[in-house]
Structure 1
Amino acid sequence: LLDEKGTRRAAEQGIHAEHITGFLTRVTGMDKLPQLILDILGNARSGPTGNVTVENVLVLRTTAPETLDFMLDTPALRRFLGARLGPMAVVARRDNIDALIEALTERGIEVEVVE
């Protein structure tokens, strides 16, 4: 198939966009290939423009920005946390969630777990 997956598979076999363009031009007898084909091959030539990571994480939400600030400023709590997602949300590590809940409770922060 002439799609992103197909052009990626072709590239893995040493067949690049220029080869495909030349082949299609030759077998179709067209002076210029349709723009859609050129766009698909152009994307294959340039490769990905960025990367993303998909993770299964817990999101910890606070009821006030000050609570999250306190948590991030407290080393004993911060070690359980990941990236800040906003003024009142942060990623929480799954592997130590029980320890995080205990540490929050010890500091007077009530925890509600929603599943």
Structure 2
Amino acid sequence: MATILVVDDAAFMRMMLKSILQKGGHEVVGEAENGAVAVEKYAMLKPDLVTMDITMPVMEGIEAVRLIRAGHPEARIVMCSAMGQQGMIIQAVQAGAKDFIVKPFQEDRVIEAVNKLLKAEGKAVT
């Protein structure tokens, strides 16, 4: 079972993602409402994977990806973006994100993206 940190400023989005991930056989070990909290929680929890929203208060997702990857180059991060944020997705990938999922979330796509990244490390749920 893979451990996942869910990062989104909207509690409803965190709840939705958590539900999808748990149904997919993963364990959500933490949640963060902004990038600054995500950086702290990543260091504490060392999850197998992070789902990271792009647009958040305090610290945006792209900056959080840079900081997490600077201290933990092995970190696997999937960006979550709303439609029409293609430019930001490119920046996120350049910062070190490995994949992205688009809101509103499609359960199959979320699980596919997460499992694809985890499989590369031998952590996927079959």
TM-score by length of 2: 0.23
Identify the structure with the greater helix proportion. 1
Q: Which has the higher contact order (CA 8 A, sep 6+)?
A: 2
Identify the structure with the greater strand proportion. 2
TM-score by length of 1: 0.25
